[in-house]
Structure formats: structure tokens, C-alpha cells
Structure 1
Amino acid sequence: MKKKGNKPLLDMLQNIAEGLGETLSPFCEVVVHDLRNPKNAIHGIYNNLSGRHIGDPATELGLARIRDPEFPPRLSNYANTFPDGRKVKSTSIGIKDENGEYVAALCLNVDLTLFQSFQGAISQFTRIEDGRVHEDLERTPAERIHARIDEFAASRATTARSLNAADRKQLVQELKKEGLLEIRRGANIAATHMGVSRATVYGDAK
């Protein structure tokens, strides 16, 4: 494929890269490489975190992919580093033409610095002192019903108030079988959480 024939492909990759850059901002840089032009390989760069520019040359990985048609089409989550020393998690996806030659690559570079800071903060926040006071905080009946409903809804990729009639009926039958509707005001608690009437819950429980 001649370089001129790569333009529709590169334009499509640029659209994908721009969308990914906007979605994953500010944590991920997305780069389109034109591997038919290694001296000026960077064809597009979105959410620029590395300080590189359009027209910059191919990386060592890009050059290796150009030299070897058998180079892996995808390298995921490998360790990398920005020029200023920040740790990076990278993924590189090679694009071949109809002749089986690599002509482009789409690369994602995730800045791990902020996530590592989060990890440290969470570790400190969740640290507990052993050997002191121990206490069990048992769920209230309402919390148990709410949690069971939310668990069921999440398994169907929806929310308690968005369950369809068939799924809601199945859920209510399960609540009944587990004895959660026998809890004082159980039917009312379930109905309120699902956004339906108590009569609807009684009807589904039959």
C-alpha cells in the first residue's frame, strides 16, 4: 500500500484516538503513529502527557514493528516511562494493510502517578490497629433488604427502580424464599426501594 492510500485509515485512527483521549483524560495519552514514515511517525497525539509533538520520530517499539511483520499485533499493559520519569502503563496496537505490513499503530499511555498516590492514601485510610477494640456493626433489616435488591439489580446491569416486571417478580420471589419479606415492614421496605407499591410486591410474591 502506498503512503497516500493510508490516509483514510489514519483519519479513522485519529477519530478513535481523539475520542479515547477525551474519554480517558487526564490520565491517558493516546497517540497515532504512521509507521510508513518513521522519521515523522507521530501523526496525532491527544491528551499529551509525554511532551512529544506531531512529526516526532517513531519509538524503538515502532521501529521494531516496522522491521518485523511477525511483531505481535498487540502489546498490553507494559511498563513504560515518560521523559520526566513518571511511571506509565502502555498498550500498543499495530495496524496492518491488506498486504500484511504494519502501516500504523495506536498507542495508549496511562500516567500511573496519580493512581499510585490514590493507592497510598487508600492504604493509609484503611489501615486498622489490631489488638484493641473489636466491634461488629450488624446491618439493620432495611439495609439487608436494600443490599439484596441492589445485588440482584446489579447482576442484571440495572438499578432497583429500573427492573422490568419479570425480573422484579423473580426478585420478590427470592426475597420471600429467603424470609426477608417476613421481616417487620419487609414488603413496604422492598416496595419503597424498588419504587413500586406494596400491593405490587404482594402480587409478585404470590
Structure 2
Amino acid sequence: MSSTADAVFAALTPVVDGIAATFGRSCEVVLHDYRHQRHSVVAVAGSVTGREVGDAMSEIGLRVLAAGADARNEVGYLTRTPDGRMLKCTTLPLRDVDGTLIGALCVNIDISAINRAAGVLSDLLGLSTPPGDAPIATTNFSGDLDQVVDSLVGRAERAHAVPASALGRDQRSELVRSLHDAGVFALRGAPARVARRLGISRTALYNDLARLRGEGNPST
């Protein structure tokens, strides 16, 4: 697998620069090699999220990694950066000759300026924004995988309005489920890091994961 995977990344590396140059400074293209989870970025062009070669995958990458064989192209979805900018993103899973997931090619376009311009034009034309638009999730694009995991835990803490260490068992189970659904446990060594972050033993965390499997969740 190594030789075919290496060939895939060697072929796509120059494509990264070409795509970014085509769309200009509002575009960023990132090539991920999932064989190196904590340093998955092997090529990047543009600076929309500020990542560099050697950085880790984002929350989106965790979700793709966890999907494994079921990972599919995600084209033109919207997300927000922590500083409020809106991005239009495309994530394309990469596979070797045997169909094994080996990485992803990601395109991120900052559409904040376009969105603001559209709002001005809408006001000038007397058009109102359609009510009830679904909220757009915020994505942590930190280059540090521990920070990405910590961001996901922190989001769950804010949802419950208490620190993770103060959660009851049912609340903690909900948090573990959200981390599972986000793909955190697809990472090597994730249970130990998450257990430390939650202030519980690994045994307690494995029991929570076992209950999830018993409820019909995919194996972690």
C-alpha cells in the first residue's frame, strides 16, 4: 500500500498549487496523508485557515477518517472559522489501489466578502434574507490535534454549562457519543487523551464506549 499511496500524494502535490492559483487568494487547498494522523498535512497552498505542512487534520478530517470505507465526497458545504469567517469547503477522500482510505484533498474558499456583498445588494434591491436559515457550524482548524479534540470537548461542556469533570454519567455518555460521532476515537491513542481531558479513568471511558456499541453504534 505504501508505494501506491506515495504515488497518489506525489501526483496530487502539484495539483494543490494549481487549484489555489486558479481561485486566487481567497482559496486554500490542503492535502492530507492519514497515515500520519498527528501531522497529516503534506501540502498546502493558500492561507485561509493558516495551516502549514506538518499540521494535524481538522474536525472535518476526523469525521472523514472515522468514516473509513464509507467516506464520500463532500462538496460545497459551509462552515465558519472561530473568528467568524464563512468558508465554502469541499473534501475529497483519497484511496489507494485497494480502496483503503489514505487521505483527503480539501478545498476551502473564504466567501465572507462575497457574503457581505450579497447582503448589501439584497438590501439595495429590497430583498429580505429568508427566515429560518439553519445555523452554520464552527470548525476548529488548529494545526494541533490535541487542540482539535479539546475544542470538541469544550463545545460539549458549553452545551451542558458545566466542566467535563462535573458531568453526571448520563451527561458524560452524551459527550462521549458526540466525540464518537465526530470521529475522535478513530485516532490512535485517543481514548487515553480523552479520559485525561474528562478526568476519568480509561476503564470508565471504555465502559461508556461499550455501552455505545451495545446500543448499535459502529465499533470504535
TM-score, structure 1 normalization: 0.56
For 2:55, the aligned partner's letter is: D
CA distance in 1, matches of 2:50, 2:5: 26
Q: CA deviation at 1:112?
A: 1.6
| 3-state DSSP of counterpart to 2:55 | coil
The structure-2 alpha-carbon separation of the partners of 1:41 and 1:48, relative to structure 1 and needing over 3 Å to count, comes to same
CA distance in 2, matches of 1:95, 1:122: 39
Task: Show structure 1 runs of 5+ residues with no match.
Answer: 129-206
Matching of residue 26 in structure 1 with residue 25 in structure 2: yes
Q: CA deviation at 1:23?
A: 0.6
Matching of residue 59 in structure 1 with residue 58 in structure 2: yes
| 3-state DSSP of counterpart to 2:69 | coil
Q: Rg: which structure is higher?
A: 1
The structure-2 alpha-carbon separation of the partners of 1:124 and 1:67, relative to structure 1 and needing over 3 Å to count, comes to closer
TM-score, structure 2 normalization: 0.53
CA distance in 2, matches of 1:99, 1:5: 9
Work out whether residues 4 and 97 of structure 2, in 8 Å CA contact, stay in contact via their aligned partners in 1: no
Q: CA deviation at 1:117?
A: 1.8
Task: Show structure 2 runs of 5+ residues with no match.
Answer: 128-220
1:41-52 to 2 correspondences below 5 Å: 41-52=40-51
* 1:43-77, Cα deviation, whole Å (9 max, x unpaired): 11111111111111122332333333333320112
Q: CA deviation at 1:109?
A: 0.9
For 1:126, the aligned partner's letter is: L
Q: CA deviation at 1:10?
A: 0.9
For 1:116, the aligned partner's letter is: N
For 2:9, the aligned partner's letter is: L
- RMSD, matched Cα: 1.9
Q: How many residues align?
A: 127
Match of 2:122 in 1: 123
CA distance in 2, matches of 1:79, 1:102: 23
Match of 1:146 in 2: none
- The percent identity for this pair of structures is 27
CA distance in 2, matches of 1:41, 1:90: 18
Work out whether residues 38 and 63 of structure 1, in 8 Å CA contact, stay in contact via their aligned partners in 2: no
| 3-state DSSP of counterpart to 1:68 | helix
| 3-state DSSP of counterpart to 1:69 | helix
